[in-house]
Amino acid sequence: MNASNRSPAGDIEVSQNSPVRAVTETEVALFKENGWALLRGLVKPEFCKPLLELGKARMAGLTQADGAAAVPEEARKVLGIAGATGGKVTDIKQWVEWRGAVRSAREPDFCRVALAKVMGRNAQRLLGRDKPMRIYHDILTCKLPDNASTPTSFHQDATNFPLDRNVLTFWIALDEVAPNQGPVQFYSGSHRLGLLGGIPARERLDLTAEYPDLADLPLSPAHHLQPGDCTVHHGLVVHGASANSTARPRWSYLVSYFPADARYTGAPNLDTDGFELKIGHAIDHPSFAVVDE
Ligand SMILES: O=C(O)CCC(=O)C(=O)O
Ligand SMILES: [Fe+2]
């Protein structure tokens, strides 16, 4: 379909059958203004359920899903690698993650959501970029109960993406996430401050320490989310999360998208190293799935 005769939300028929709803014009405006937006009911809860079940099974025994106890210290290492096709489960201290349910595993239930046409259209509209969208990475996260996972320090994502233009991330609650379970919080408008620093290799950089003036910006509330509720954030917005102080794990699935015409900068990164990408060229590699238009 030609971009000029497409409705803002994309194909209506697709959006009715889609696991994902179209974002509203108000949500797009809020995203542009604040650098983030709360998208209630973005994913239909029945499509979140299998993702949660698969995530729990993938991390079985690692997350103490009954909330009984946290992962012991000796288990704080790479917990299991299922090979190139299965994605990777790791405890990265701020959460336990399964990276690559779509990128590596092409798990159909995850693809249904992350590669939904409406999702791609949403990313286009939020970023204001009418180009096909590719998935950069997708990560199912579990912030462990009882403060066992650390807080997520305040950071921008942009420095983690060796790309020459803007990206965004949808952070989808797969289960109820209460305010004291560490939902993501954002400094509203901080995306307009530009690039503030922090490279992936540097542990625990916290931008609020390096930029005390961030405190002048409104910090978004710790939202109470239901399965399928989502926050979406711009690659330049400063965000972080507190630890999960409850006895229940915090389950979420985050997916980052970039416009397919973005050029690769060559900066070292675990998501792009080893793929023989060409510096200065668009990323044209099947590992970075294109969302159907
Ligand atoms: O889940 C979190 O605690 C933070 C997530 C995050 O940093 C992101 O989605 O970019
Ligand atoms: Fe982030």
Cα(185)–Cα(144) distance, rounded to whole angstroms? Answer: 18
47 within ligand 1 shell (Cβ under 6 A): no
Cβ 166 under 6 angstroms from ligand 1: no
Q: What is the spatial distance between Cα 129 and Cα 92, in angstroms, rounded to a whole number? A: 32
- Give me ligand 1 centre to Cα 141, in Å: 9
Cα of 200 vs centre of ligand 1, distance in Å, is 14
Rounded to whole angstroms, how far apart are CA atoms 85 and 106? 8
256 lines ligand 1 (CB under 6 A): no
Q: What is the pLDDT along the chain (293 residues), one digit of tens a residue?
A: 444 445 555 444 456 789 999 999 999 999 999 999 999 999 999 999 999 999 998 887 676 544 434 444 444 333 443 344 578 888 888 999 999 999 999 999 999 999 999 999 999 999 999 999 999 999 999 999 999 999 999 999 999 899 999 999 999 999 999 999 999 999 999 999 999 987 655 567 889 999 999 999 999 999 999 999 999 999 999 999 999 999 999 999 999 999 999 999 999 898 999 999 999 999 999 999 999 88
Q: How far apart are CA 70 and CA 51, in angstroms?
A: 22
Structure tokens at 166: 């803007």
Residue 161 is predicted with a pLDDT of 95
pLDDT in tens, 219-234: 999 999 999 999 999 9
Q: Kindly give the distance from the C-alpha atom of residue 22 to the centroid of ligand 2, in angstroms, as a whole number.
A: 23
Single pTM value for the model: 0.90
Strand partners, 255: 138, 170
Contacts of 142 (CB under 8 A, 6+ apart): 55, 59, 63, 95, 96, 97, 149, 249, 250, 251
**CA atoms within 13 Å, Cβ hemisphere of 18:** 27
Q: What is the pLDDT of residue 182?
A: 98
- Give, for 125, the enclosing helix (H) or strand (E): helix 117-127
Ligand found nearest the CA of 231: 1
| Beta bridge mates, 100 | none
